[in-house]
Amino acid sequence: MNRIALAWLATASFTVAGEWPRELKAFHGTTPKIDGILSAHEWKDATAFEGVQGWTPQFSPTTDPRDLSLKGWVKYDDKRLYFAFEVTDDVLYGIATDRWLPEKNPKAHELTREGWPWFGDEMELLVNASNQWKGDENAAGNGSSWQMVCNLTKSRLGGVGAGGLLEGEPRSHPAAWETYQRWIKTGAMEAAAKVKPDKSGYIIEWAVSFDPCLEAKPGVFFKPGNTEVRMGLNIAVGDLDEKPRGEGSFGNFHHEDWLAGERNKRTNLRQWGTLVLMPSTSVHNPSKSAGH
pLDDT in tens, 246-267: 999 999 999 999 999 999 999 9
In a domain, 11, yes or no: no
pLDDT band at 283 (very low <50, low <70, confident <90, very high): confident
C-alpha dihedral sign at 152, 153, 155, 161:
positive
Largest CA distance in the chain: 52
- Name the phi and psi angles at 9, rounded to 5: -110, 110
Single out the residue of 39, 167, 186, 176 nearest to residue 115, CA to CA. 167
User: What would the pLDDT profile of 113-137 be if each residue is shown by its tens digit?
Assistant: 999 999 999 999 999 999 999 999 9
Compute the distance between CA of residue 31 and CA of residue 272 in angstroms, rounded to an integer. Answer: 27
For residues 178 and 170, the answer to whether their CB atoms sit within 8 Å is: no
Residue 3 is assigned to a structural domain of this protein:
no
Tell me the CB-side half-sphere exposure of residue 24, using CA atoms within 13 A: 27
Nearest to 121 by CA among 166, 179, 170: 166
Domain count, the chain: 1
* Measured distance CA(78)–CA(94) in Å, rounded: 37
Tell me, yes or no, whether 15 lies in a domain. no
In a domain, 97, yes or no: yes
Provide CB contacts within 8 A for 190, sequence distance 6+.
34, 165, 206, 207
| Average model confidence (pLDDT) across the chain | 92
Q: Rounded CA gap, 149 and 252, in Å?
A: 19
8 Å CB contact between 118 and 238: yes
CATH number at residue 193: 2.60.40.1190
**How far out from the chain centre does Cα 183 lie?**
16
User: pTM for this structure?
Assistant: 0.92
Indicate the residue type of 92: L
119 domain residue, yes or no? yes
The answer to the question of residue 2 being in a domain is: no
pLDDT tier at 273 (50, 70, 90 boundaries)?
very high
Q: 9 lies in a domain?
A: no
Q: Residue 266's domain spans which residues?
A: 23-288
Q: How far is CA 1 from CA 84, 183, 199, in A?
A: 11, 29, 20
5: in domain: no
Residue 18 is predicted with a pLDDT of 81
